Amino acid sequence: MSRRSYDHYCAVSRALDFVGDRWSLLVVRELSAGPRRYSDLFADLPGISTDMLATRLKGLERDGVIIHRRNGMRSSYELTDTGRTLRPVLDALAAWGTPLLGDRKPTDAVRAHWLALPLGRAIATALPEGTVTVHIGDTVLHYVITPDGITHHDGPAPTPDWELRLDLAEATEITTGVRGLTLETFSAAPAH
């Protein structure tokens, strides 16, 4: 399948030639915390058809944004080094889009890990450096905050400095700026 192109000699349009199709950046968002199986991607992208997901995965793999790893009967998708360089793009889109969230509509799907990018910014404001395991209901992820930036990853940190336990409503309030975070909000991680 050939890729559609804007045929503009412009950096923005060239980037969109690669990741501007509907669902592409959301697939990248899903993989930004680590490798995922097809079934996990499908479950966490409500509204996408299996054909569309397969098409987006093939295109992103063809373009060097993701890699499909096969290990016997198990396989997963993950970002390549090139794909990981999209993290600042996702961060910028999340920062731009956070004020647009407004109140959640009854028809809006939500997954706790979708709050990871804006929540990470709030955490980095309260904790300028360190590793934090965050529990949002049953979802567990962790952040690594360094002077060079912040990354988030699936699952708990192997040796966190801090822990933060939130329900989805609290995480949403922090994400949207209704509620702030201070150092007192965090618990010291248990010694290992």
Q: Could you tell me the residue range of the domain that residue 62 belongs to?
A: 11-84
Shared domain for 142 and 69, answered yes or no, is no
Write out the DSSP string of 134-185: EEETTEEEEEEEETTEEEEEES--SS-SEEEEE-HHHHHHHHTTSS---GGG
Write out the DSSP string of 8-74: -S-HHHHHHHHH-STTHHHHHHHHTTS-B-HHHHHHTSTT--HHHHHHHHHHHHHTTSEEEEEETTE
Shared domain for 76 and 20, answered yes or no, is yes
* Residue 32 pLDDT > 90: yes
Q: Is the C-alpha dihedral spanning 83, 86, 91, 96 positive or negative? A: negative
User: Per the structure, how many domains does the chain have?
Assistant: 2
Q: What value does the mean pLDDT take over residues 110-136?
A: 95
Cα dihedral value 61, 65, 70, 74, nearest 10: -100
Shared domain for 99 and 164, answered yes or no, is yes
Tell which of 84, 116, 137 closes a domain.
84
Q: Give residue 5's pLDDT band: very low, low, confident or very high (50, 70, 90).
A: confident
Shared domain for 32 and 120, answered yes or no, is no
Shared domain for 76 and 144, answered yes or no, is no
* Residue 190 pLDDT > 80: no
Please answer whether residues 132 and 161 qualify as being in contact, where contact means their C-beta atoms are separated by less than 8 angstroms.
yes
Shared domain for 60 and 99, answered yes or no, is no
Q: Which of 53, 64, 49, 58 has its CA nearest to residue 26?
A: 53
Shared domain for 97 and 178, answered yes or no, is yes
Shared domain for 98 and 168, answered yes or no, is yes
Note the pLDDT of residue 2. 63
Q: Specify the residue for token string 């968002």.
A: 29
Residue 2 lies in a domain: no
Note the pLDDT of residue 4. 80
Residue 5 lies in a domain: no
Q: Give residue 73's pLDDT band: very low, low, confident or very high (50, 70, 90).
A: confident
Shared domain for 61 and 20, answered yes or no, is yes
Q: Is this structure's pTM higher than 0.75?
A: yes
Q: Write out the H or E segment, with its range, that includes residue 123.
A: helix 116-126
